[in-house]
């Protein structure tokens, strides 16, 4: 029997240049996948090679810290791997710069995919990434704290007014009712605050990327709603530095009662403080409006300079089979049928499933990173008390207008 090898790249902070030096040979697929996928990816590679003995998979492990720049460096180097796992929001930029290949010929059962996941990676009516993982945030809360505060833990807040009232009741004895993010990586605050804008009829920019919305009345009202949790003492004093990980730690320490998070936080909470009775609620909405969330997740792309694109497409097709896709992701799969797998039956995940139809992709714009930075800087000015919401968003709008 032919020996099949799984070659392992260095885990941890491996640069794009270092990874790209392992150029593929004929019949070899070099696949970059993040470290949180490693164990599952290894099992799937073994299964794939049993069915495809003429293809060797060279599995190389990346870390998310600094990954956007590493991937971009590799794509521009002319010595990229054959498959790279990337966040959905990065794909359109690669497509617009001719750095990746279209994958329409790999897609099977289009109707079985969550439409927003495919929309994320579509540009000029072509598919430039194959989504395999989707996720949205919800609100995690401590049921015990609800009971202590005289709130019904089985009937959490549904509207903005109810969320404010609950946060006020929960904020006591050095404990904060609802933690927002105001620091760390910019995307943390985008993913948590932009849905409030959408629910209220606003946004940072329009979906087609042609209009600035960040200083509209609807957006400013949502920004005030978000930042007032800190200004009114309902979010921790460390909010200006806190990202999602910091808020999770505060929740585990039981100094925070509610915070926005993905299902990926649940196991950490259960492991580090099993005494917490965890509740999950949909993100509260304005009265009479629907909830909203940013749809996140990961896709496979094939670089334009991939050495073995045909073999890469064979592997992506295998990984995209419903059972394999459901096994690989640690949130939800992009295929609807894969969500029927037993691992997704955990009752605590049901609210996250309920949030998915309300998930939207972030606007696809070549300058989205700079646009979000301008907005984030405005949020920080509000939290610092330097400017009110309207003034801060007017300043952000001026910067964003130039970027459009």
CATH at 132: 3.40.190.10
Q: pTM for this one?
A: 0.80
Q: What pLDDT does residue 332 have?
A: 93
Q: What is the pLDDT of residue 56?
A: 96
> What's the pLDDT score for residue 25?
66
Token digits of residue 212: 């600035």
- Map tokens 């894969």 to a residue: 338
**Token pair listed for 20:** 């790209």
- Note down the domain range covering 352: 7-136+296-360
In three-state secondary structure terms, 57 is strand
CA dist 250 and 261 (Å) reads 13
Regarding whether 339 and 277 lie in a shared domain, the answer is no
Q: Are residues 240 and 338 in the same domain?
A: no
Based on the fold, state whether residues 96 and 228 are members of the same structural domain: no
Domain shared by 256 and 399, yes or no = yes
pLDDT at 313: 98
Q: Looking at the structure, tell me whether residues 339 and 329 fall in a common domain.
A: yes
Judge contact between 189 and 379, C-beta under 8 A.
yes
Q: Is 299 helix (H, G, I), strand (E, B) or coil?
A: strand
For position 17, what pLDDT does the model report? 41
DSSP of 50-64, one letter per residue?
A: HH-TT-EEEEEEE-S
Q: What is the pLDDT of residue 89?
A: 84
Number of domains in the chain: 2
Cβ neighbour number for residue 275 with a 10 Å cutoff: 7
Residues 125 and 151 grouped into a single domain: no
Q: Is residue 208 part of a domain?
A: yes
d(CA 211, CA 205) in angstroms, rounded, equals 6
Q: Is 59 contained in some domain?
A: yes
On whether residue 98 sits in a domain, the answer given is: yes
Signed CA dihedral, 342, 347, 348, 353: sign only:
positive
Residue 258: strand pairing partners: 141
Give, for 32, the enclosing helix (H) or strand (E). strand 28-34
SS3 (DSSP) at 30:
strand
- Residue 1: which residues within 8 A CB-CB, separation 6 or more? none
**Residue 221: its pLDDT value, please?**
98
Let me know whether 317 and 212 are in one domain: no
Do 70 and 42 share a structural domain? yes
What is the per-residue pLDDT for 9?
Answer: 37
Least Cα distance to 60 among 27, 76, 38, 75 occurs for 38
Do residues 134 and 114 lie in contact, with contact meaning Cβ atoms separated by under 8 Å? yes
User: What is the structure's pLDDT at 164?
Assistant: 98
Give the distance from CA 378 to its chain's centroid.
22
Q: Is 329 inside any structural domain?
A: yes
CA dihedral of residues 231, 138, 118, 108 (deg, nearest 10) = 170
Cα–Cα distance, 211 to 206 (Å, whole number): 5
Q: Is residue 301 part of a domain?
A: yes
**What was the pLDDT predicted at 368?**
83
Going residue by residue through the chain (404 aa), what tens digit of pLDDT does each one get?
333 333 333 333 334 344 444 455 668 999 999 998 999 999 999 999 999 999 999 999 998 777 888 998 999 998 999 999 998 988 988 998 899 999 999 999 999 998 889 988 999 999 999 999 999 999 999 999 999 999 999 999 999 999 999 999 999 999 999 999 999 888 889 999 999 999 999 999 998 889 999 999 999 999 999 999 999 999 999 999 999 999 999 999 999 999 999 998 998 999 999 999 999 999 999 999 999 999 889 999 999 999 999 999 999 999 999 999 999 998 999 999 999 889 888 889 999 989 988 988 888 787 887 899 999 999 999 999 999 999 999 999 999 999 99
Q: How far apart, in Å, are the Cα atoms of 147 and each of 138, 160, 247?
A: 20, 20, 21
Q: Would residue 1 count as lying in a domain?
A: no
Q: Within this chain, do residues 116 and 150 fall inside the same structural domain, yes or no? A: no
On whether residue 283 sits in a domain, the answer given is yes
Whether 168 and 276 share a structural domain: yes
Q: Could you tell me which of 94, 103, 82 has the C-alpha nearest to residue 33? A: 82
Question: Which pLDDT belongs to residue 16?
Answer: 39
**pLDDT confidence of residue 65:** 73
The verdict on 38 and 91 lying in the same domain is yes
* Cα dihedral sign, 134-138-144-145: positive
Spatial separation of the C-alpha atoms in residues 205 and 190, rounded to whole Å: 12
Q: Tell me, yes or no, whether 344 lies in a domain.
A: yes
**Residues 178, 221 within the same domain:** yes
């Amino acid at each position: 029997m032919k020996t099949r090898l799984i070659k392992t790249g260095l885990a941890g902070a491996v640069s794009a240049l270092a990874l790209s030096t392992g150029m593929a040979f004929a019949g070899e697929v070099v696949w970059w996948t993040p470290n949180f996928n490693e164990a599952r990816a290894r099992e799937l590679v073994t299964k794939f090679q049993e069915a495809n003995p003429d293809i060797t998979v060279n599995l190389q492990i990346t870390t998310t810290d600094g990954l956007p720049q590493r991937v971009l460096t590799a794509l521009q180097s002319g010595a990229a791997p054959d498959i790279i796992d990337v966040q959905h929001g990065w794909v359109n930029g690669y497509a617009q710069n001719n750095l990746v290949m279209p994958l329409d010929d790999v897609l099977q059962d289009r109707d079985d995919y969550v439409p927003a996941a495919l929309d994320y990676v579509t540009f000029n009516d072509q598919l430039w990434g194959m989504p395999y993982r989707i996720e949205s945030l919800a609100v995690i809360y401590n049921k015990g704290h609800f009971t202590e505060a005289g709130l019904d833990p089985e009937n959490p807040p549904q509207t903005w007014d109810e969320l404010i009232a609950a946060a006020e009741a929960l904020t006591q004895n050095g404990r904060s009712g609802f933690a927002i993010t105001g620091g760390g990586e910019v995307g943390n605050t985008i993913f948590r605050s932009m849905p409030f804008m959408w629910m209220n009829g606003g946004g940072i920019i329009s979906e087609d990327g042609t209009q600035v919305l960040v200083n509209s009345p609807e957006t400013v009202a949502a920004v005030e709603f978000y930042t007032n949790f800190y200004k009114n003492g309902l979010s921790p004093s460390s909010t200006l530095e806190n990202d999602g990980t910091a808020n999770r730690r505060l929740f585990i320490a039981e100094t925070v009662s509610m915070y926005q998070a993905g299902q990926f936080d649940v196991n950490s909470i259960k492991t580090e403080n099993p005494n917490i009775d965890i509740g999950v609620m949909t993100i509260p909405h304005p009265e009479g409006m629907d909830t909203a969330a940013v749809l996140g997740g990961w896709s496979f792309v094939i670089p334009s300079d991939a050495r073995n694109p045909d073999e890469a497409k064979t592997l992506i097709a295998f990984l995209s089979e419903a059972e394999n896709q459901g096994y690989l992701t640690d949130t939800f799969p992009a295929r609807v049928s894969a969500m029927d797998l037993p691992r997704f039956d955990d009752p605590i995940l049901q609210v996250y499933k309920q949030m998915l139809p309300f998930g939207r992709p972030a606007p696809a714009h070549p300058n989205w990173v700079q646009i979000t930075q301008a907005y984030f800087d405005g949020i920080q000015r509000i939290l610092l008390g330097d400017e009110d919401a309207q003034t801060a968003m007017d300043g952000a709008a001026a910067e964003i207008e130039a970027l459009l």
